[in-house]
Every structure is written in structure tokens, then in C-alpha cells.
Amino acid sequence: MILHELISYDILRVIWWVLLGVILIGFAVTDGFDLGVGALLPFVARNDIERRVVINTVGPVWEGNQVWLILGGGAIFAAWPQLYAVSFSGFYLAMFAILFALILRPVGFKYRSKIEDPTWRSSWDWALFIGGFVPALILGVAVGNVLQGVPFRLDEDLRIFYDGTFFGLLNPFALLCGLLSVAMLVMHGAAWIVLKTEGVVAQRARRVGEVASLLTILLFALGGVALWLFVGGYRITSPIDMVGPSNPLLKTVATGGGWFANYAAHPWMLIAPALGFVGAVACYVNAKAGREIGTLLWSKLSIFGIISTVGVSMFPFILPSSADPRAGLAVWDASSSHLTLFIMLVVTVIFLPIVLAYTAWVYRVLWGKVDEQAIRDDSGHAY
């Protein structure tokens, strides 16, 4: 038996679908609080020293957290090449906007304190706000468009044609998803600030986190209702060959009711949206009670539930098409080869535990609060 045949092609496809979800969730629960902190910076910190305190809660870890985003792009490129081709070309301007905003973060961190001028520092504070708010919003908008179906089609040679526009992405349902993404990550960022600071900064962040938790619950519920009433989803109506070739055009697809069919067929999947709601409610309760670690952990659980809800609702689709439904990319017809998925899995099994262990060690070393006196005592090295 050839080594890669130890794991069947269909199982490998599902494994990489799960791993893609793990990477996206990993990005949201790590770099997500960095984005939330950036979006909150001008509002929870009122003077220069307070803002330096907030910046230094994420300054030592944001670069490592952002690796999850790069890892996600690499995984999509290697495991789901058609998904990479469609998304990175069709969403080009949106991704450029995200990239521009993310570039503002390292520049803001490095240059903000170079000049002791209030106008200079205030300008970089708002740049850091953009670097947190814009990616959170646009990533949510992208998910909203994926749920509706992306306007692309394939010809008989599997060449990709994208028929959409940047402003077409900014439709009401996608914007609702964008607002949910912002509320979710602001909730998470506020929980991180509460954990890492004290005094008035922590108090302001706690109040904002309570509001963001309630907004997350409301917007998540509204998103579900809108999905039911106005989106519906897609369903594969032809027989599914789970080990077939990666050719999306070999299936037939119908519209309507697809995103809720999995819950009827597999009720256990309702755990995902339940965790989204329960995590946000518990985050609010813990924030009210002043339980710092609990607030952060429950916000992570809410993020896990919300993102998982998207994945299990769409399965087996990973990128449906609104222009030609049968061209939609599914787990069974848009992956790399059997051998490629196996080799990538072996590499992941070796290196992912190392990455996780190192990340855990870094957070352990950096555990503790950042206060104003620490900033003053280490003014030459702190951001």
C-alpha cells in the first residue's frame, strides 16, 4: 500500500476542512483580541499614558498572533487551490483594504512614541483604530458574501470568471455580518483589556465589553433570521462522489433552504450556534461580576461557536457561487490531490504542536497586568 493511502481521500478532505476552521478560529481568538483592542484604543484610554498601557497589552504578542492569518492563506493555497484563486482574485480590493489597515498596526506601534507631540500620537492612535476596526468589519462582510454566494463561474476548462464588484460586496446582509464581526471582536478585545489592565481603563473596557456582548447576541440572532428569510443557501442535488476528481462542474446544485438542512439532518450541529449564544451571554455575566479570566474564556467560546456555525451550516460547501450554483466549491470537489493533502497533514502533525507549545510558553512568560508605573519605569522599551 502506498503510504498516503493509509488515510482515504474523503477523510483527508474532511480533515482539511476541519483544519481550515481551526486556523480561522485560531486567528479570531488570538489576533481577534488585538483587532478589538485597536478598535477600542481611542475610547477606553483618554490620555497618553493610558493609551500606552492599552497598546502594551498587545504589543508583545500581536505579531505572533497574526501568523494565524498567514497560515490560513497558506493552507487555502495548498489544500484548496480553487478557493484561493476565487477568493484572492474576486475579493482583491477588499483584501487590499484589509492589508492596508493591517500595515498601519506595526507602523503605529513602532512610530507612535517616537515624537512626544500630542497631535502626532493622536494621529497614530486613530491609525491603530483603523487597523483594528477595518479588518474586523471587512472580514465579517466577506463571510456574509460567502453565505450568500459569490458571483463567479467556471468554464469547461475550469477557468474562473468573477462577475462581482467591490461595492457589490457591501450589501445589507454582508454589512450585518460585518457589524457582528466587529461586535464579537470588540467584546473579545475588551475582555483582554480587562484582564491585562486595572483602574479606570479596565472599568471603561468592562462597560464596553458588556455592551458588545449584548450586541453580539442581538446581531447573531438577527443574522440567523436574515439567513432564513433572505438567503436560504444551496443544496447539492446530484449523487456525491466523496473521492471524485476536483471538478465542481460535475455536480448539480439547487438554491433555497440549504444552510438549515444540516441541522435537520444532524441535530447535534445545533451545538455550534448554541455555543455562540451561550458564550456571549456568559461573557456578559462574567464581565458584570468582575471575573476577568472567565470573561475572556467565554468570549473565546462565543467566537468558536459563531465561526463554527458558518462552517457547519455551509457544509459541504466552502465557497458557493451565486452566478452559477453548480460551480460552487465543495469539500468533495475543490481540494488538492490525495498525496498533497497527506503530505501537508504529516507536516501539520509535526509542526502545529510545536507552534502551540511555543505560543503557550510566550503567553505564560508575558502573563500579568500592564500598569502605568510599569510603562514609566520601562519608558525606553515600552511602546
CA distance 166 to 168: 5
List the grid coordinates of 209.
465589553
Range with the poorest average pLDDT among 4-8, 196-200, 214-218, 374-378 = 374-378
CA distance 280 to 287: 10
Side-chain half-sphere exposure of 262, counting CA atoms within 13 A: 23
CA distance 217 to 192: 19
For residue range 123-132, list pLDDT tens digits in order.
Answer: 999 999 999 9
Q: What is the pTM of this model?
A: 0.94
Label residues 191-228 b or e (16+ Cβ within 10 Å = b). Answer: bbbbbbbeeebbebbbebbbebbbbbbebbeebbebbe
For residue range 310-320, list pLDDT tens digits in order.
Answer: 999 999 999 99
For residue range 214-233, list pLDDT tens digits in order.
Answer: 999 999 999 999 999 999 89
Percent of the chain with pLDDT over 90: 73
pLDDT score recorded for residue 289? 94
pLDDT score recorded for residue 257? 80
Interval 165-175 mean pLDDT? 90
Interval 228-245 mean pLDDT? 92
Interval 134-146 mean pLDDT? 96
List the grid coordinates of 163.
462577475
CB under 8 Å to 143, separation ≥6 — which residues? 177, 181, 310
